Amino acid sequence: MMYGYQCEYCDGTVEERIVTEDFRHKGELVILHNVPVGICNCCRTRYYNAKVLKRLEKIAVEKNELPTLSIPVGEFQWPEGERP
């Protein structure tokens, strides 16, 4: 993917970055490291190449071959009397 083009939402420039991506596939979360994406250097909007998205989906479909982590899941609640 070519980078260096203007963001469609602001005057920023889209630059390639290698990131960790939280990817949801059929309701399940898959965390993938080293994902190449375009990110605006101003508003941080992400741009995905179609080939990258297809590869993300393929990895997510084959998720049973990936290592698994246990992740705590909670719910945000204000303590009694502390709501702003």
Which CA distances in Å does 4 have to 17, 23, 24, 51?
A: 12, 25, 28, 19
Distant-in-sequence, close-in-space partners of 14: CB < 8 Å, separation ≥ 6: 3, 4, 5, 6, 7, 38, 39, 40, 41, 45, 47
Strands (E) across 41-78 are located at 46-47
Please give the model's pTM, rounded to 2 decimal places: 0.74
More confident residue, 35 or 68: 35
Write out pLDDT tens, residues 7-66. Answer: 999 999 999 999 999 888 888 888 899 999 999 999 999 999 999 999 988 988 888 888
Question: In the prediction, which pLDDT does 1 show?
Answer: 56
Q: How many CB atoms lie within 10 A of CB 1?
A: 14
